[in-house]
Amino acid sequence: MSRLVRIELLKLRITRLGYGLLGTAAGLTALFSVLEGSRAGNGGAVEPLNTSSGFNSMITGGVWALVLATVLGATISSGEFRHQTATQTYLATPARGRVLAAKAMAGAIAGAVFGLVGYLIALGAGLAFVAGHGYQVPLSDATLARYGAGHLLAGALLAAIGVAIGSLIRSQLAAVIGVFVWTIIVESLLGGLFTSVRPYLPYTAATTLSGSALGGAAFGPAHNVSGGTPLPFAAATALLAGVAVALSLLAARTTVRRDIT
């Protein structure tokens, strides 16, 4: 299995798409964090940066890396069909379930890197703004470390979910659009309408894992409602892992078995 994971990581390293997505994630995280930092303490929605809420708003920029990690995962699997490289892949490794598992693991490793990069940029921007204002960092080192671990885990698990989605949908364009529609529109609407289910929505759970307030990383209605308690760290991790495994098993039993014509 480790050989198969190495193959998938090699494919990622020698293809430009992954670097492009990572660059996009870094750029969006930086932009979002700086915008939040500039708005903080001006009497608007963002609290001053010497409060944990205000500082959290800046850290939330890291969720862009999580969205892009999911997109990366989707391209890892669906790209095989877009470029018809599935033929060569399955000739080399006829056990398709093992290929899917290796892709999920490679996606998780790359997704963790995305999460880490996003966190470092958001944290760096946050620390720079706090220093600029002459404030003390309002969060403990332990909390900051937990947010870092959360970004890493959330990026890894969302990328693995992306791999499963790409395996199920197989059309790269549809898979990528599907990821954006789900994270930006569907979860925001569902989370806004049903606050009781909001903590259990995968993208929302991933963002709370990475330190965002519940709804803090939502793009629409769910951003402005209160209610519900974020899942604890372990529960959010287990939920995302469960979704990744369930979708992977579904793909392995359905679309992955299809004829390669």
Binding positions for another protein, rule: CB under 8 A = 3-4, 6-7, 10-11, 14-17, 79, 83-85, 87-95, 257, 259-261
Residue 20 or 232 having the CB closest to another protein: 20
**What letter does residue 257 receive in the DSSP assignment?**
G
Contact 164, 247 (CB under 8 A): yes
Q: How far is the CB of 89 from another protein (least distance, A)?
A: 8
Count the neighbouring beta carbons within 10 Å of the beta carbon of residue 24: 15
Q: How far is the CB of 19 from another protein (least distance, A)?
A: 11
Residue 16 or 234 having the CB closest to another protein: 16
What distance in Å separates the CA atoms of residue 138 and residue 72, rounded to the nearest whole number? 33
What distance in Å separates the CA atoms of residue 56 and residue 38, rounded to the nearest whole number? 14
Residue 14 or 234 having the CB closest to another protein: 14
Helix axes 141-169, 202-209, angle to 10 degrees: 150
Q: How far is the CB of 4 from another protein (least distance, A)?
A: 8
What distance in Å separates the CA atoms of residue 244 and residue 202, rounded to the nearest whole number? 10
Q: How far is the CB of 172 from another protein (least distance, A)?
A: 12
Residue 93 or 143 having the CB closest to another protein: 93
Rg (CA), the chain: 19
